[in-house]
Structure 1
Amino acid sequence: MANTSEWGPQRHNFTEELLTVLYVLERMAQGTTLNQLIEIMDETTEINYFDYRNALEHLLERKLIFSYPSQTGERYILSISGRQSLAHFVPMIKGSVRDRIDAYIKDNRTAFRQDNEILTYRSCIADNSYIVFMRAFDDDQCVLELALPAGSAQEARALEENMKKKAGFISKAVIEVLAAEQPGAPEI
């Protein structure tokens, strides 16, 4: 969705790019991963990847945003000065862009929240032998880790994808089974 003219692609106003990144982080209302930011920016703005990466670095250098490590990857949040700057200059972001960002975040909030709570990955342990891991987090603390074998790369990918989609059900079922009292079984 590049903005073009007879002279080729047109660069957006750098200030608008900075404010748009601040706006996305503010609307997410949680630590946001680079992948989440990329997804939102690609789906809702015409700003290209290199420009918003440059904006992200600029905001970090100026301490308008901060990054912090978490179990599921580095996250970005607004600083107090970033929030104040955004509040003052938010009208400089086109209303249509703000509306698209708001709608996209609202429609995908559950998936973004799950990205912050569930980490899945696979590891090849031998030829055509994999282990697929799922880790569930609460307040950045691992509360459940599950590892299952897979007999092929295709099976491992499918298992990993199913773990992502069904992580809530998996976590709930494991906790219910472990918490259920069995007659004659020792307490955990």
Structure 2
Amino acid sequence: EITNKPFRFCTSFLSIFKFQLFITFRFGRNTTTEHLSMKFFTISGISTLLCILAPVQAFVTPPLRDLIPNVLPVPDPNREFRFHCPNGPIYSKAQAMKVVLFAKKFIRPDKPDDEYPFVSTRLSYNVAGTVWYYPMAEGPGPHDFVVFNTDGEIVGLNSRTHYSQTSDVIEHCEFE
């Protein structure tokens, strides 16, 4: 919501500036009025600067998700949801949770980096802590990964839509 408060602020300081000019011309230039005049001159200079910046102050700050577009939303763990992946499959919360419960058994400090579940920072989710990936189904080729945190909460689902020895494309599955 944009308000006119900064503009009201500017008009009040401009009226002080007018008062300063009135005192200077009405009473002449003696020490008291010069001292008072210099204080008002400083105030009017600051008010001019603030009036120039008033339109900037009036802007509305966009939400964090608009400022950092790479941070992906996380589904509410207390609600039912489904994931729609770009390569076609739709997964329910129950299907993903079943995989998470299975995958949590394999999280240990001495686990090699090339075994599932693995940690990846390729896609950023709006969640603190370590995020783990585990495939929804075993097998070669492109497949989907459930993403979860150390507490076992589902953070998201990703789909590997293209895979080769040199590169792969991982996309976020939308949830509803």
TM-score normalized with structure 1 length: 0.20
Q: Pick the structure with greater CA Rg.
A: 2
- Larger relative contact order (Cα-Cα within 8 Å, sequence gap ≥ 6): 2
Q: Going by fraction, where is helix more abundant, 1 or 2?
A: 1
TM-score normalized with structure 2 length: 0.21
